[in-house]
Amino acid sequence: MKRLIVIIMLATFAPVACYDTYYISGSELNKLERSDKASVVVKDKKGHDIQIKETSRLFVRSKGKKRYQLTPFNFKLTKQQLVASDRDYILDVNGLKQGAEIDVPSIWKNALLIGGGVAIVTGLILGVVLTSGSKNFD
């Protein structure tokens, strides 16, 4: 029982969220290089409009499948390299896959995650209340 309580305590402090990932082309990535606006709308490869802010989660992926996070509107993309000075990245463009990935928080997935957590905690509390006075769960 003590182990279960420790696992639950550790899980409550873990930053967990669910995201939907959208893929954009290289030309849409160029729109996110510099902007005077607070937000920009780009189209993903399926035609969905995605609003990008400075706080959006933007990633490029290397051909070796490593994922590099970029800060929107704070990187320089040339024909030879991608430079993100705030993250100390100087990446060879030939070593990157074309385009980028954008992670957007999923409302319904996060609601299910929170609902599941509440259901587990409620079940544990009910289990403790219903078994109080006895020595085990049998």
Instruction: State the DSSP string of the chain.
Output: -HHHHHHHHHHHHS----EEEEEE-HHHHHHTTS-SSSEEEEE-TTS-EEEEETTSEEEEEBTT--EEEE-TTS-EE-SSEEEEGGGTEEEEGGGB-SSEEEEEE-HHHHHHHHHHHHHHHHHHHHHHHHTTTSSS--
State the average pLDDT over residues 3-20. Answer: 73
Instruction: Give mean pLDDT, residues 18-42.
Output: 87
Domain count, the chain: 1
Q: What is the pTM of this model?
A: 0.70
- Specify if 130 maps to a domain: no
Q: pLDDT over 70 for what percent of the chain?
A: 91
Q: Is residue 118 part of a domain?
A: no
Q: Flag whether 133 is in a domain.
A: no
Return d(Cα 108, Cα 33) in angstroms, integer. Answer: 31
Residue 64 has pLDDT above 80, yes or no: yes
Decide if 28 is inside a domain: yes
Residue 58's pLDDT band (cuts 50, 70, 90): very high
Task: Name the residue range of residue 40's domain.
Answer: 19-105
pLDDT in tens, 70-98: 999 989 998 899 999 888 999 999 999 99
Q: Considering the domain boundaries, does residue 67 fall inside one?
A: yes
Q: Indicate whether 114 belongs to any domain.
A: no
Is residue 7 situated within a structural domain? no
Task: Give the pLDDT score at 90.
Answer: 92
Whole-number mean pLDDT of the chain?
A: 85
User: Does residue 117 lie within any of the structural domains?
Assistant: no
